[in-house]
Amino acid sequence: MKFPGKPRSQPAASLPLCLILLKILQPGHSHLYSNRYAGDKVIRLIPNTEEEAYTLKKLCHQLKVDLWQPSSISYVSEGTVTDVHIPLNGSRALLAFLQEANIPYKILIEDLQKALEEGSSSQAQRNRRSLSEYNYEVYHSLEEIQNWMHHLNNTHSGLIHMFSIGKSYEGRSLLVLKLGRRSRAYKRAVWIDCGIHAREWIGPAFCQWFVKEALLTYRSDPTMRKMMNHLYFYIMPVFNVDGYHFSWTNDRFWRKTRSRNSRFRCRGVDANRNWKVKWCDEGASMHPCDDTYCGPFPESEPEVKAVANFLRKHKKHIRAYLSFHAYAQMLLYPYSYKYATIPNFSCVESAAYKAVNALQSVYGIRYRYGPASSTLYVSSGSSMDWAYKNGIPYTFAFELRDTGHFGFLLPEVLIKPTCTETMLAVKNITMHLLKKCP
C-alpha cells in the first residue's frame, strides 16, 4: 500500500548530537522504561461483600496501587470487577491479604515488564515506521503521529486540511484533521477524538486507521464516499498530547494531563473529568494525586478548553461527537453523570444497537452498550455529557478492546482486528446520522 506514505523525517544534520547518539545507541527492548515494571503484576479481584470492598479500598490506598479498572477506587463495591497494577514489593502483601480474606482473584499479568516487551513488535519491525510506507499496525509516538498528519496535509489536500486549535500545557500543538470533500454546500460534521487518557494507546491507533481507511476506500466504497461527500470529520488523533508523550518516555500507565499544581507535587488532571457538566461531582476526585482529579476548575486544562471552544464555535453543524477510550468493549452514550434517560433516547439507542451488531459481525467480539451511568459507572465532568448538553445530538464514548486480558497493553497484532471492527461501528453511526432518525 503506497499511501498514505512516509512522513518526511528531519535531516540528521539538524538533530542535536545527543539525539543522534541516542538513535544509534537505542537500547533493545529489555530496557523499555528502564525496566521499571519488572515483577509488577496485574491482578483481577472481585470483593464478595461491602466489608471486603472497604478493606480492599484501604489496602489499595496503603499499597499505592495503579487502578486499571474501574478508574477510581470510589467505584469499588460488592461485586465490582477490579483490576489493579501492583508493584513487585506490594504484590506479596496484597496476595497474602486476598488469600487470608478469601477474596477470589486472578493474576491477569504475571510480569508487566515482560508483557510490555512482548506486546510491541521487534526493533526490526519498529524501524519500518520510517520507511516509505507508514505502518498502521504498530503504535506510534506523538512525534511520528504529528509528522504523519503534516505529511497527509501536504499530500492529500483534496480531502484533508490540518489545523491547530491551540497549545497544550507543555506548549505542544493541538492538531486536528478536517476530512471530507470540500463543497460550497452546507455540510454537517462529526467530531472524533482519541487519546484523552494517555495510556489508552489503541485510541490514537484507531484515529489514524480511520483516516487511512477514508483515503484508501473513498473511491471504491459507496458508504465511505457518501460519508466524505455529505459530511466533514474533525479528527483529533491525540487529545492529551503531553500525557501521551509522557506515556512513551516515562510511565507507560500515565492517564492524566501533565499540568502542575501549585500546592501539590502530583501532576495532571483527568481530561475526562474537567468539563463543565456537573463538574467534580460523583466519580471525580478533588485530590490532585488521584487519577480522576477533576482539576482546580472546569476547563482548567488548555487541551480541554481548546476542544470545548472549538465545539462551541461549530456546534451548529457538528451533529455527532465520538470519543475513543480503552478498555472494556462498550459503546456508551449519555448520561454519564446521572441515571436518567436522554430526550432522543430511541434514536441514539437504535444507532448504538446497530453499531454494536455491525462490530460483532466481523470477529464475534461482543460489546455492551447503553447509558454510561448504568453500563459503566456514574462520572461527572465528561466530554460526552458536555457535548450532548451543548447541543450535539449524537454523542458516544467507545471503550475499545479488550476486557482485561491485556488491558492497556493491547498487543500490536490486535490493532488491525480492533480497528477493522470499530470502523464498521463508526460507519454505522455515521450513516444513521445521514438518514433522519427513525
For the record, the C-alpha cell of 299 comes out as 476547563
Distance CA 86, CA 74 (A): 18
Q: Residue 192: which H helix or E strand, with range? A: strand 188-194
Residue 231's identity, in one-letter code, is: L
What's the order of all strands across the beta sheet hosting 105-109? 66-69, 82-86, 41-45, 105-109
The CA-atom distances, in angstroms, between 365 and each of 194, 203, 231 are 21, 17, 29
Q: Which residue has the cell 500490536?
A: 412
For the record, the C-alpha cell of 247 comes out as 506515556
Q: Considering 144, 200, 399, 421, which one is annotated as catalytic?
A: 399
Q: Sign of the C-alpha dihedral, residues 242, 406, 425, 391?
A: negative
Half-sphere exposure at residue 153, Cβ-oriented, CA atoms within 13 angstroms = 16
Q: How many CB atoms lie within 10 A of CB 130?
A: 14
Cα end-to-end distance, the chain, whole Å = 39
Distance CA 211, CA 219 (A): 14
Q: Catalytic: 299?
A: no
Q: What is the 3-state secondary structure (H, E, C) of 5-39?
A: ECCCCCCHHHCCHHHHHHHHCCCCHHHHHHHCCCC
Question: Of the candidates 88, 46, 42, which has an alpha carbon nearest to the alpha carbon of residue 66?
Answer: 42
User: What residues pair up with 396 in beta bridges, in sequence order?
Assistant: 322
Distance CA 181, CA 153 (A): 14
Question: Of the candidates 281, 310, 421, which has an alpha carbon nearest to the alpha carbon of residue 321?
Answer: 310
Per-position DSSP letters for 367-408, written without gaps between them: -EEEEHHHHT---SS-HHHHHHHTT-SEEEEEEES-SSSSTT
Question: Of the candidates 210, 208, 205, which has an alpha carbon nearest to the alpha carbon of residue 224?
Answer: 210
Q: How far is CA 328 from the centre of its chain?
A: 12
Catalytic residues: 399
